Structure 1
């Protein structure tokens, strides 16, 4: 199965929406809060050149921005039908 990691910071509504979407589709994922985990922060910076969180990594693919911005790409990467 493809590894899914969601990099978050603080209390973010978009992070919760991404997590809810993955949970609704029974996709296991790991959440890495970069506020509390310096290693996760370094990992994210090494993998992606982004300035907005959350960042969702599905395998080798990186998605960032609002949930609306990420949803279709995440669904395609996970081969989910309908993207909802």
Structure 2
């Protein structure tokens, strides 16, 4: 079991995560918003908690917000649907 916390979308760091599932595992990657307005707000909210917020919100390393995990998922099957009749 892997637990990965994703960063805030609205406040700093202002971005989104994409989860890619594969038969051999998964990859979760964080992408920072690129629009000027989003970056302005992100820089403004960066100063929360007396400037220490980036360390908690973004992590110290790139690996804190990006994960690749290998796991055998080839035995997973779609659940059977229940009929409504």
Q: Structure 2 length normalisation: TM-score?
A: 0.29
Identify the structure with the greater helix proportion. Answer: 1
Q: Structure 1 length normalisation: TM-score?
A: 0.30
